[in-house]
């Protein structure tokens, strides 16, 4: 399979090297694009262990979408047909990525409609089945994107900067007549947000509740409303976006409510002003 990879870094720790090591041997080239203002000391030397790695440091954070576009365009220039996109904290267990590639190749032998291939990043909630499934959206990490489709739909929307970049991309893939194919039995080691123990208001039982950093709350609110204005949005997509906004409820209940409301309000105000890109406080 003619595939390169990309991972976007932002203030990583040294575990990123082990994470990269779980998949780098199976891509011909890995573009490591560092968004950190101050890169991790020694990161370039640590990554030199992998001959596939091409390291780019920019010493400023320009967001996820712009860096993904840069990586995809580098891969196109270098003659690749597909791009694996990874987060710095994501990895595969031994043998999993090889199976992922095999399933992808089998799909491509019989179909030419795939814009994105996806993996199971939350196995506690998504059942693992052997049969591929068509889904509306997925996250960037662990996805393999067709660079032909990338060019047809115009790449990632850089207005987002961070959060829902992946959802918008998948929605546009779908609107252009292509598919997102989920292999739910391919498990990605990945963490979304952080967890706290909270008590249910319905039955008063304690359980894990996912909360987000305040900056991510800002982007989730602003970008959700920006998404809702797009001309491809149908009833199904609207429902998914509202579900995303509904997940912020845990932050109101189990996070610093005052700060959560502050960042939610700023996100909505900036959306109304048409102020996209990086958050300015």
Question: In the Cβ-directed half-sphere of 28, how many Cα atoms lie within 13 Å?
Answer: 11
Which of 144, 159, 187 terminates a domain? The answer is 187
What pTM does this model have?
Answer: 0.93
Residue 116 scores a pLDDT above 90: yes
Q: Is residue 37 part of a domain?
A: yes
Q: Are residues 119 and 239 in the same domain?
A: no
Q: Is residue 68 part of a domain?
A: yes
Which of 140, 158, 187 terminates a domain? The answer is 187
Q: Is residue 171 part of a domain?
A: yes
Q: pLDDT tens, 27-37?
A: 999 999 999 99
Q: How many domains does the chain have?
A: 2
Confidence at 281, pLDDT banded by 50, 70, 90: confident
Q: Is residue 246 part of a domain?
A: yes
Q: Are residues 17 and 141 in the same domain?
A: yes
Q: Are residues 200 and 180 in the same domain?
A: no
Q: Which residue has the tokens 């918008």?
A: 168
Distance CA 102, CA 49 (A): 26
For 157, the 3-state DSSP assignment is: coil
Q: Which residue has the tokens 């963490």?
A: 191
In 46-142, the DSSP E strands lie at 53-57, 82-87, 114-120, 133-135
Q: Are residues 204 and 95 in the same domain?
A: no
Q: pLDDT tens, 150-161?
A: 999 999 999 999
Q: Is residue 280 part of a domain?
A: no
Q: Are residues 20 and 116 in the same domain?
A: yes
Q: Is residue 281 part of a domain?
A: no
Confidence at 236, pLDDT banded by 50, 70, 90: very high
Q: pLDDT tens, 37-61?
A: 999 999 999 999 999 999 999 999 9
> In which order are the strands placed within the sheet that holds 30-34?
53-57, 30-34, 3-9, 82-87, 143-146, 114-120, 179-187, 133-135
Q: Is residue 87 part of a domain?
A: yes
pLDDT at 237: 96
Confidence at 119, pLDDT banded by 50, 70, 90: very high
Distance CA 139, CA 87 (A): 10
- 178 is written with which tokens? 């292509």
Q: Mean pLDDT score of the chain, rounded to an integer?
A: 94
> DSSP string covering 166-178, please?
HHHHHHHHHHTT-
Q: Are residues 119 and 134 in the same domain?
A: yes
Q: Are residues 221 and 252 in the same domain?
A: yes
Confidence at 204, pLDDT banded by 50, 70, 90: low
Q: Is residue 236 part of a domain?
A: yes
Closest CA to 181 of 123, 232, 142, 147: 142
Q: Are residues 72 and 29 in the same domain?
A: yes
CATH number at residue 96: 3.90.550.60
Which of 133, 162, 187 terminates a domain? The answer is 187
Q: Are residues 29 and 139 in the same domain?
A: yes
Cα distances from 96 to residues 51, 103, 109, 187, 188, in angstroms, run 21, 11, 20, 7, 9
Q: Are residues 143 and 262 in the same domain?
A: no
Q: Are residues 130 and 64 in the same domain?
A: yes
pLDDT above 70 covers a percentage of the chain that reads 95
**What domain range is 77 assigned to?**
3-187
pLDDT at 183: 98
Distance CA 143, CA 165 (A): 13
Distance CA 269, CA 27 (A): 42
Q: Are residues 178 and 232 in the same domain?
A: no
Distance CA 245, CA 134 (A): 23
């Amino acid at each position: 399979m003619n595939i390169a990879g990309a991972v976007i870094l932002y203030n990583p720790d040294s575990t990123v090297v082990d994470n990269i090591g779980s998949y780098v041997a199976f891509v011909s080239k890995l573009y490591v694009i560092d968004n950190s203002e101050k890169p991790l000391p020694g990161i370039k030397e640590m990554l030199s262990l992998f001959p596939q790695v091409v390291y780019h440091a920019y010493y400023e954070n320009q967001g996820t979408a712009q860096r993904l576009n840069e990586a995809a365009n580098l891969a196109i220039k270098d003659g690749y047909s597909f791009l694996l996109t990874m987060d710095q904290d994501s990895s595969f267990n031994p043998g999993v990525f090889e199976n992922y590639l095999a399933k992808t190749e089998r799909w491509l032998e019989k179909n030419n409609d795939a814009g994105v291939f996806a993996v199971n990043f939350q196995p506690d909630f998504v059942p693992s089945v052997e049969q591929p499934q068509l889904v509306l959206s997925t996250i960037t990490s662990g996805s393999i994107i067709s660079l032909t489709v990338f060019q047809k739909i115009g790449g990632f929307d850089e207005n987002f900067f961070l959060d829902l970049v992946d959802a918008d991309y998948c929605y546009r893939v779908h609107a252009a007549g292509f598919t997102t194919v989920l292999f739910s039995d391919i498990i990605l080691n990945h963490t979304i947000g952080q967890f706290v123990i909270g008590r249910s208001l319905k039955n008063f039982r304690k359980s894990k509740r996912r909360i987000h950093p305040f900056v991510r709350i800002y982007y989730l609110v602003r970008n959700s409303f920006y998404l809702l204005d797009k001309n491809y949005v149908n009833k199904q997509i609207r429902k998914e976006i509202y579900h995303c906004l509904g997940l912020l409820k845990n932050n109101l209940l189990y996070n610093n409510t005052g700060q959560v409301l502050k960042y939610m309000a700023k996100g909505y105000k900036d959306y109304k002003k048409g102020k996209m890109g990086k958050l300015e406080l």
